[in-house]
A and B are shown apart, each in its own frame.
Chain A
Amino acid sequence: MKSFLLAALALSLFACQSKEEILHEQYVIEGRIQYENNCANCHQSNGQGLRNLYPAISKSTLSAPELARLIKQGRKSATGYMPANPKLQAIDIAEIITFMRHEWGKNEQTFSFDSTRIVLKGIN
């Protein structure tokens, strides 16, 4: 009886969310983990960076495709060096970008796996 109630409750909860919303939530959750593992050591968990060594990214104006390429390829410039992330796959990067939008962009749009794959085509 108890487990039946629980199942019904879970079902009703799920029913309130569309498929897209569930997918978006998964992207955000996974993206947060990926961000913690691959980015937070420099840019910090709150995206504020570390003084002038690692820039704050919470207010970055890069577009999603630019961001995807930056994450994959890194960047070396006169102002700093961000290493490439050859090990991150399109799905990981899609999740990171979706997480960053959610966390700092007030933007709840999923940046999809397919968009990321297209942007990263030809880049290894």
Chain B
Amino acid sequence: MQLTNRAKVLEKKPMTLAERAYLPAIFQGLSITMRHFFMKKATIRYPEETRPFSPIFRGLHVLKRDEQGRERCTACGLCAVACPAEAITMVAGERKKGEEGLYREEKYAVSYEINMLRCIFCGLCEEACPKAAVYLQPDKMAPPRYERDEFIYGKDRLVEPVSPDARSIRGIQLTPEQAEALRSKLA
């Protein structure tokens, strides 16, 4: 019975002498591997070289500041509600007198934590935020760490630095200690 006419009839031919001798096939194989020996290598030597990211890549979060360097987040909790992975927790607090230069709104996030092990990098928090405070950066990733605790990113690692610093080297978010060490090395 023929279901489609794509079926291919295979003839079982007896092997020729060259095929049975096996040596020509070996030389064919050897020439193929030798060709690959001189080919361009596919390896990307990671820490020194990085793969180019797509411009819409959703990577590590950042909490943005406004033009005057004030934190934009008002701890409304919309991002936490939107988050399908329940990765975001925060504690809200009221801005004191004299802190106007630090926080834009009267209510701000005293603590703001994202668990990068829970996060699925869907970007819904970014879409939910009314203050354009949280963004997923297109060029940074959460690097591997040894301890689970280290994947809970607090404000120390999320808030955009006032001035760009060594954190952004190689596109990796460093821990504060690592950043400190790097800064003192660079200085």
Q: Do A and B come from the same complex?
A: no
Which residue numbers of B lie inside 8 Å of A, CB to CB? Answer: none
Which residue numbers of A lie inside 8 Å of B, CB to CB? Answer: none
